[in-house]
A and B are shown apart, each in its own frame.
Chain A
Amino acid sequence: MSSFNAVRVRADIPALTRHINGRPITYLDSGASSLPPRSVIEAMDEYYRLRHANVHRGVYQTANEATDAYEGARAAVAQFLNAPGGAEGVVFTKNCTEAFNLLAKSWGVANLKDGDVVLLSEMEHHANIVPWFQLRESIALDIRFIPVTDDYELDLSNIQELLQGVKLLSLTAMSNVLGTINPVKDLAALAHAHGALVAIDASQSVGHMPTNLVDLDIDFMMFSGHKMLGPTGIGVFWTRPEILATMPPFLGGGGMIADVRTDGYTPATGFTRFEAGTPMIAEAVGLHAAIRYLEGLGLDNVHAHDQSLTVDAISRINHQFSGRVRIIGPTAHAQRGGVLSLDVEGVHPHDIAQVLDEIGVCVRPGHHCAKPLMRRFGLAATARASFGPYSLTLDTDVLLEGLQRAITFFG
């Protein structure tokens, strides 16, 4: 394997120098938001100190530099994803959630009609559920869910039936609760054979494993910058430029127009049509730096690192707490993401997280914005630990110490 070294990654993350309650921080919440390396913070800092100006329409030097930086980030995203059509299909949004709203409220409104089927799965984040329910208030959509098996995988036994009449398959590449990695490429091919388009939520996968849009052969992808070592406030909506060209504007205002008169307006073409108002320039610069950093690590290496941490953590949890701590997610094979949802018998996730906080461990209790999935497994909440490229087995040591404490404390 190449030069990937998690200890060295850790040294690049300023936030990991903190102490919480007298202990070095043990950050196990990268699934909710990852910690940016110094290079991301410095790129944004340098931008604000020396080059800040509004983008586009400027003539002076720093305005041109800002525009180049912003458009450079778009090109970097396209290259990072190996996007067909290049940067033309990349729209910057506030986050993954806004990208899903753009999909539903622009593409969906223009292309879906009463009775059309939108196929989701039971393991989707609310970001890929609620916009469809909102759209159903004006278009009588048939929203279906691919069930999840007791082994925490998509239940594809009825997939042919579920795909009847489907116009869009919208699916997560990796569950933020279970860690399950879905067979995106195969399902996309199947959905295409039924005449549907395919949207993929890459929030959990894009910073943790290689993404190749040419190979996946999908139609839409969305994710947030802050889960891939980048800043908050920026997300990506990608589609094929020829699809983008058919989508009506979403938000209106400056920047997204070709012409405005007193009797109406003409929208701009391409990605510009979907970027109303002054965009998130510094955040785009930060995202660009995050992409460079991840490419330096190698996404294959990051994925392998996640897997080895996860396999190790699963076996130690099972060994130390056999029966008492249940892992809500696949445990039998290594092909999964670095997300561990824990259900500790007799101790509520909030109480687990509270006891863990006492020794500086950051995990997330709750439903993780996936209530249909929690219902499916009869759970109100789990305590979720999730890894990043800077995580070490040392973090698992402290997690286990905290779990033991919680179990002892609550009996």
Chain B
Amino acid sequence: MSNLEELYKEIILDHYRTPRNRGELPPPASKTEGFNPLCGDELTVYLDVTDGVVSDIKITGHGCSISQASSSLMSVAVKGKTLAEVSEVLSKFKNMMTLEGEVVDLNDPSNREVLRSLGELAALQGVAKFPVRIKCATLAWNTLSQGLEEN
């Protein structure tokens, strides 16, 4: 696989071209804005949390393929999940993104387990090899964290 194909996996391009859970939610859903001052990417995450479950999530904004795909993948990964499950995905995702410059060793059983548990999100693992793009991938997740804290 070329570097580019590793970064822009088919799943990522698919989520970029056809983002899931796009749009807004009316109040009382919470609304959190995220901002990447370096590249001007902007994102708004709307969250409906009912009885400890993320019952709905919608996202608006603009940015590069990585930030858009990451937000779309995130919305799918957390929708319908309990807050505890969401916080687990969040921390796994952030761990994956801080493996800066290193390719995750898929033969290492612990990594394999983590990647498998991340499902489609694992497609974003290639981003970690491109340090300047990590911020693109994590924008949605940081915004989600902030939204959950405020909730």
Contact = CB atoms under 8 A, between A and B. Distances in A.
Contacts, number: 48
Contacts of A351: 8, 64-66
Contacts of B3: 21, 358
B84 interface: no
Contact of A410 (B13, B40, B41): B13
A350 B62 contact: no
Interface-central residue, B13, B42, B62, B64, by most chain A CB under 10 Å? B64
Interface in A209-244: none
Contacts of A272: none
Interface residues of A, number: 18
A367 B66 CA distance: 18
Interface in A329-355: 348-351, 354-355
B133 A354 contact: yes
Contacts of B8: 351, 409
B39 interface: yes
Interface in B27-43: 38-42
Nearest to A365: B39
A374 B40 contact: yes
B68 to A, nearest CB: 8
Contacts of B62: 380
A38 interface: no
A29 to B, nearest CB: 14
B72 to A, nearest CB: 14
A355 B66 contact: no
Interface in A375-391: 380-381
Given A348-B64, A350-B136, A358 B40 contact: no
A350 B66 contact: yes
Contacts of A144: none
B5 to A, nearest CB: 9
Contact of B39 (A366, A410, A411): A366
Given A381-B39, A409-B8, A358 B64 contact: no
A326 interface: no
Interface string B18-52: 00000000000000000000111110000000000
A371 interface: yes
B16 to A, nearest CB: 8
Contacts of A21: 3
A371 B8 CA distance: 28
Interface string A36-79: 00000000000000000000000000000000000000000000
A192 to B, nearest CB: 37
Interface-central residue, A351, A374, A381, by most chain B CB under 10 Å? A351
Contact of B130 (A354, A367, A371): A354
B2 A380 contact: no
8 smallest beta-carbon distances between A and B, as pairs:
A350-B64, A348-B64, A380-B40, A367-B40, A381-B40, A351-B65, A351-B64, A366-B39
Given A348-B65, A354-B4, 20 more contacts: A21-B3, A348-B64, A349-B39, A349-B64, A350-B65, A350-B66, A350-B136, A354-B130, A366-B39, A366-B40, A367-B39, A367-B40, A371-B40, A374-B40, A380-B42, A380-B63, A381-B39, A409-B4, A410-B65, A411-B17
18 contacts: A348-B63, A348-B68, A349-B39, A349-B64, A350-B63, A351-B8, A354-B7, A354-B133, A358-B2, A366-B40, A367-B39, A371-B40, A374-B40, A380-B39, A380-B62, A380-B63, A381-B39, A409-B8
